[in-house]
Chain A
Amino acid sequence: MNHELIRFAPFFAIASGDVKEVANWVTLLAEYFHEVPLVQFLHHWENVVFSLTAAILLIVVSAFAVRKSTLIPHPLQNAVELAVESLDQLVAGVIGPKGRAHTPFIGTLFFFILIQNYMGLVPGLKAPTSNLNTTAALAICVFFYVQAIGIKENGILGYFDHLMGNPRDVVGWILVPLFFPLHVMGELIKPLSLALRLFGNILGEDALIGAVVALGIASVSFIHSPIGLPLQFPFMLLSMLLGAIQALVFSLLSTIYIALMLPHENHAHEAHN
């Protein structure tokens, strides 16, 4: 059986640390043309290549949706508008009336992550979000965006006041040495948790699919079948669900981080409203 697995190795497994994922076109090229410099370059920047593929797909779909946009929408425009409006309402629901300004960032984040997650289900492609570098990059973007919004909305003094826990009395000022490092750590842990959650979930899904694909191939290898049993199909459906959930969780948490960084009066006022 080990011999058969090795024979079909290029079709189902690559090394991603110690975790095996389904092969993609870059790993296949690397498998057969590993001496070619371009292939080596692509293999080195594999996740960036697939991230850019997702970005280009997003840009192309957006361009088609916006190109001939009319008040009475065509089907693609209708679908895109539905998604855009849902996200806009989600962001505005969490942040309030000021949320509209953050919809482009959160919306792009959501669709970008969603497409990247789903790319793992397409044969020949891989989900770049199964790599920590990709999710870390996104989380770092969110971190800087949130801090920038905090400074912009609160002012530099208000920003540090927020990090110190908004001390207004003696007890508050006494607790500043405790709260300040806690808040700073909290701000740093937020992107870390975002990155690790998304990376872990997507890598787990892809690894599961990779393992089940290997099982499907191995299960019919004794008859030298060129294709394996599609045992991964139910897990692909599960991945579709989890991919959407993970994209939503990442975007929603980013929205909440933005909302938490806005001046507290706004929240109280909006909550009151």
Chain B
Amino acid sequence: MGISIPEILTQAFAFILLVLVLKKFAWRPLLKLLDERREKIKSSFETIESTKRDVDALKVEYEKRREHIEEEARKRLEQALEEGRRIAREVEESARLSARAALEKAKQDIQLETEKAKVTLRNEVAELVLFAAERLIEKKMDAAKDKELALHFIKDFEQIK
């Protein structure tokens, strides 16, 4: 079959050289590059997963905050309403008290004025009676004059009234 030991040795030597050359200059760089790419892809996927988890967590937190904010807003609105109602009640109460006080004061003023008017009237009536009595005493001469005097007196009285 044409076996040639020198040829076999030459071929074997050439192959060993080829393995060594390719191992150093081709296989190692290529396998290293493949590993690097594999690691990069793996880390990229891990980063994506991690980011996705962060986004999910943020979303949950956002939802919580949104719910919290809504709850807070509702509470504040209720508080404001309650405050408004309270203020309205206070204003109403105050107004009622003021009105009552004014009414009381008016009543007192009316009472006072009435009393004053009564006193004044009594004094005037007394004066009138005294005046009339003085006139009666001074001018009692005849019946006609009495009558005239009385009429005059009534007229004065009406004028005074």
Contact = CB atoms under 8 A, between A and B. Distances in A.
Contacts of B7: 45, 47-48, 133, 137
A133 B11 contact: yes
B21 interface: yes
A52 B7 CA distance: 12
B105 interface: no
A107 B27 contact: yes
Contacts of B14: 48, 51-52, 55
Contacts of A58: 18, 22
A100 B31 contact: yes
**Among the interface residues A84, A108, A138, which one has the most CB atoms of the partner chain B within 10 A?**
A108
A104 B4 contact: no
Contact of B2 (A17, A45, A107, A141): A17
Contact of A137 (B11, B21, B33, B34): B11
Nearest to B16: A141
B84 interface: no
Contact of A88 (B2, B34, B37, B40): B34
Nearest to B24: A104
Nearest to A85: B34
B28 interface: yes
Contact of A62 (B1, B16, B26, B36): B26
A81 to B, nearest CB: 6
B23 interface: yes
Given A55-B14, A59-B18, A104-B19, A136 B3 contact: yes
Contact of A105 (B12, B19, B21, B26): B19
B34 A104 contact: no
A75 B76 CA distance: 66
Given A17-B1, A48-B14, A103-B31, A136 B26 contact: no
A134 interface: yes
Contacts of B31: 84, 88, 100, 103-104
Interface stretch (A63-71, A160-168, A223-231): A63-71
A112 interface: yes
B21 A59 contact: yes
A137 B22 contact: no
Contacts of A128: 11
B38 to A, nearest CB: 9
Contacts of B25: 62-63, 66
A251 interface: no
A63 B18 CA distance: 13
Nearest to A199: B1
A108 B27 contact: yes
A59 B22 contact: yes
A55 B18 contact: yes
B22 A104 contact: yes
A89 to B, nearest CB: 10
A60 to B, nearest CB: 11
Interface string A22-60: 000000000000000000000001011001100100110
23 contacts: A17-B1, A45-B10, A52-B14, A55-B14, A58-B22, A63-B25, A65-B26, A69-B29, A81-B33, A81-B34, A84-B34, A88-B31, A104-B19, A104-B28, A104-B31, A107-B22, A108-B18, A128-B11, A132-B2, A133-B3, A133-B4, A136-B8, A141-B15
